[in-house]
Amino acid sequence: MNIGVHQCDGSYPNLAIMKIAGFHEKRGDTIDWYNGLLYADTYDKIYMSKIFSFTPMPEVPSNAVIGGTGIDFFNRMPQEIEDAEPSYSLYPDCNYHIGFSMKGCRFNCKFCCVPKKEGRPYDYNSIDEILTNPKGKDRLMLLDNDFFGGENWKRNLERIIELNLRVCFLQGLNIRIITDEQAQLLSKCKYRNSRFKDKYLTFAWDRYNDGKIVMAGIDRCVKAGIPTTAMQFFVLIGFDTTPEQDLERIETLRKLGCLPFVMPYDKNNDYQKRFARWVNSRWIFKTVEWKDYIHNYVR
């Protein structure tokens, strides 16, 4: 069979597409990127993956199937594809291993689809099972949404340390309930950002009222040997906070030496777009205060 695949959105290698490729390559099928509606008839079957609901919906030819969280929370790949070993053949420039050690989440945040889509936490792969990229070397990107929610978190962290892996926890870690033991093991890891260069961990401060427990988690990490300068924080705005509360969280993190990164709840809201652009443009954030930036803002 001649198989086409299309990644509708997302800037990282798409694990679903990698599993589709792994499944069909093992069967001896040919697989390549689908190049548009005019070429649809050249494929026996086309798979399309859409992660985000806010990205444009592509034209879907009659010989195509489309899935992903951007379509609905509950669609699933056939089990034989879900169980396939991912292939990196469509991502020849990917120089790291990528995968999930667990799926699901212990929490039920109203702004997040993970509990609806994946349910309660469950273990998914061991660290060794994820290390399948021939070019991956010592770089590991974990996509877990609640790493410490998996039963094997300790074994996985110890294995990461044992193998001396540079690890990126792409979706972040929950600092609100981090334990002393977890913080101490994290401090022994070679944690990195998504480019595997800068040394930092990503956490989140989504709800304003979580301030006290976030501060307690920061203190726990610092005592374990993780400096605030090695902490990035996703900061959700526009869900249940005021602009004043958004600014207070950002400035609190700035004073501590942490690196904030704003996540707008409504990407079409003018204020949220402006605030995110101010914080996330690092050189602007370091040199211009919010009151000056908003006063001189140019669309």
Residue 237 placed within a domain:
no
Please name which of 255, 173, 176 lies closest in space to residue 211, comparing C-alpha atoms.
Answer: 176
Residue 61 placed within a domain:
yes
- What angle do the packed helices 243-256 and 270-280 form, to 10 degrees? 10
- Residue 279: the pLDDT is 97
Residue 40 placed within a domain:
yes
Residue 18 placed within a domain:
yes
Tokens of 279: 């914080």
pLDDT digits (tens, 9 = 90+) for 243-255: 999 999 999 999 9
C-alpha dihedral sign at 257, 147, 110, 49: positive
Please name which of 53, 58, 48, 40 lies closest in space to residue 14, comparing C-alpha atoms.
Answer: 48
- Residue 37: the pLDDT is 80
pLDDT digits (tens, 9 = 90+) for 173-214: 999 999 999 999 999 999 999 999 999 999 999 999 999 999
- In degrees and rounded to multiples of 5, residue 285 shows phi and psi of -60, -35
Residue 23 placed within a domain:
yes
Please name which of 239, 206, 201, 236 lies closest in space to residue 218, comparing C-alpha atoms.
Answer: 201
- In degrees and rounded to multiples of 5, residue 110 shows phi and psi of -65, -25
Decide if 213 contacts 183 (C-beta within 8 A): no
- Residue 41: the pLDDT is 92
Residue 41 placed within a domain:
yes
- Residue 299: the pLDDT is 56
Q: Name residue 113's amino acid.
A: C
Please name which of 242, 237, 238, 284 lies closest in space to residue 262, comparing C-alpha atoms.
Answer: 237
Instruction: Tell me how many domains the chain contains.
Output: 1
Range of the domain at 37: 1-91
Residue 50 placed within a domain:
yes
Residue 215 placed within a domain:
no
- Residue 28: the pLDDT is 97
Please name which of 263, 196, 204 lies closest in space to residue 231, comparing C-alpha atoms.
Answer: 204
Whole-structure pTM over 0.85, yes or no?
A: yes
Decide if 219 contacts 256 (C-beta within 8 A): no
Distances, alpha carbon 296 to alpha carbons 274, 275, 290, in Å:
11, 13, 10
> Splitting the chain (299 residues) into consecutive groups of 10 residues, what average pLDDT does each group show?
95 96 97 89 95 91 93 88 96 97 82 72 94 97 95 97 98 95 97 94 96 98 98 96 97 97 94 96 94 75
- Residue 188: the pLDDT is 97
